[in-house]
């Protein structure tokens, strides 16, 4: 484990140290390209998905873990794949809820010095080296997003998704913030931003803050069925060595 931490730390330091030789920059770009292609090949047949974001630090007995587990079950009942960051905590709970209720469960894991081991409740997963590629894939295959309580990583994922909605990169995809006690102060500040004119109130109409799981799933179901024809999973081409 110590060796693994050192390798990851050295790679991150190299990534952040600024301009390097042209060959090193090319090799970095090539590594990103190869990782993206491998990830797309792995995850191409998983959809349609609903992505659940949340902290890796909540244990099985925590109320947020149990809520995420129930969301995984509800997503499976809706006929969607549950997609998470593939790690412990909220991610494990959502994957577990789907996995234990005949739903399809998938993860986009990340290499980290800690909290990096993928959970045991996934049918398929891919482990990424870089956060920016991972976030792209977590959003790419999903029709809706459930934001459970979390820390910096969860906030990053939430605001990345909101930014894509704001710039109309993705449209009509519902976002659920779950747990009013946890997220009301954040929503108050976001509404302050709207009052100041730095964001549009229209950007927030797809965001639902709720404590009610039924309300959350109804919000998701209404926007999905009202705006999209759900695409079925494509069939693999054996000539390309593809498989589900």
* DSSP letter for each residue of 167-185: TTSS-S--EEEE-HHHHHH
> Which one is the CATH code of 44-232: 3.40.630.30, 1.10.357.10, 3.40.1190.20, 3.40.50.450?
3.40.50.450
Q: Which of 183, 231, 230 is nearest to 207 (CA)?
A: 183
Judged on CB neighbours under 10 Å (0-12, 13-18, 19+), 213 is middle
Comparing 74-83, 89-98, 139-148, 230-239, which segment has the lowest mean pLDDT? 230-239
- pLDDT tens digits along 208-235: 999 999 999 999 998 887 665 566 666 6
- pLDDT tens digits along 136-185: 999 998 999 999 999 999 999 999 998 988 888 877 789 999 999 999 99
The domain locations on the chain are 44-232
Q: Which of 150, 144, 103, 146 is nearest to 122 (CA)?
A: 103
Longest dimension (CA), the chain: 55
- pLDDT tens digits along 2-49: 445 554 455 556 666 677 788 888 998 999 999 999 999 888 888 889
**pTM of the predicted structure, to 2 decimals:** 0.85
Looking up tokens 């090193």 gives 24
């Amino acid at each position: 484990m110590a060796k693994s931490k050192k390798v990851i730390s050295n790679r991150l330091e190299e990534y952040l140290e600024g301009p390097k030789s042209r060959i090193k920059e090319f090799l970095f770009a090539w590594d990103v390209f190869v990782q993206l292609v491998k990830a797309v090949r792995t995850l191409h047949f998983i959809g349609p998905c609903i992505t659940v974001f949340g902290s890796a630090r909540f244990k099985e007995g925590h109320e947020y873990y149990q809520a995420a587990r129930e969301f995984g079950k509800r997503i499976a009942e809706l006929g969607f794949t549950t997609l998470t960051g593939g790690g412990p905590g909220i991610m494990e709970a959502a994957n577990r809820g789907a996995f234990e209720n005949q739903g399809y469960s998938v993860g986009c894991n990340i290499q980290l010095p800690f909290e990096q081991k993928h959970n045991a409740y996934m049918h398929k997963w891919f482990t990424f080296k870089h956060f920016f590629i991972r976030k792209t894939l977590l959003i790419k295959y999903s029709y809706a997003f459930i934001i459970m309580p979390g820390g910096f990583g969860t906030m990053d994922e939430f605001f990345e998704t909101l930014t894509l909605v704001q710039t109309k990169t993705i449209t009509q995809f519902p976002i659920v913030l779950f747990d009013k006690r946890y997220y009301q102060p954040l929503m108050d500040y976001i509404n302050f931003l709207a009052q100041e004119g730095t964001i549009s109130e229209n950007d927030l109409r797809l965001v639902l803050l709720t404590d009610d799981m039924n309300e959350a799933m109804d919000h998701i179901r209404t926007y999905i069925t009202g705006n999209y024809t759900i695409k079925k999973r494509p069939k693999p081409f054996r000539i390309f060595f593809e498989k589900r």
